[in-house]
Structure 1
């Protein structure tokens, strides 16, 4: 049996470069996908932390608002005035016309 002369097909420089780019893209695309997914997950975690922080701050603001309402009540103002020896004198009040 005689062996046939087989010519080996050589790749051109452009074809080598094209194959290299294709293989590189096939490796990079999944890596980029995983990277962007991890960034999205990290961002979601940060958003949830901020939501918790906002809700706790809103609760604190509501509590402080209630304290302001209590301290600004007329009864409390009169009690503080009595404590410091202040009195309500109608004769010293002037009405603007």
Structure 2
């Protein structure tokens, strides 16, 4: 007599920004933990800094990702940092803030 065990795949849980319909909250100040779709294998957080005409704006976000690559990019007036991870609720911290040079 043999036993066959079939296990269901584990769905990742990530922090996501809670943005209501029409909300202009770009700080990701309200967050909730959500279960990612089964084909999403990473949690991510990002910070974007944009500077135009002496005005600097920053936005942050968090969520599930199916294709995430950690890194930073600077294209003059716009700079972003993305951090990816692959364990439950691993994106609790924001991606680091950045300065434009």
Smaller-chain TM-score range? under 0.3
Larger radius of gyration: 1
Which has more helix, going by share of residues? 1
TM-score by length of 1: 0.19
Higher strand share: 2
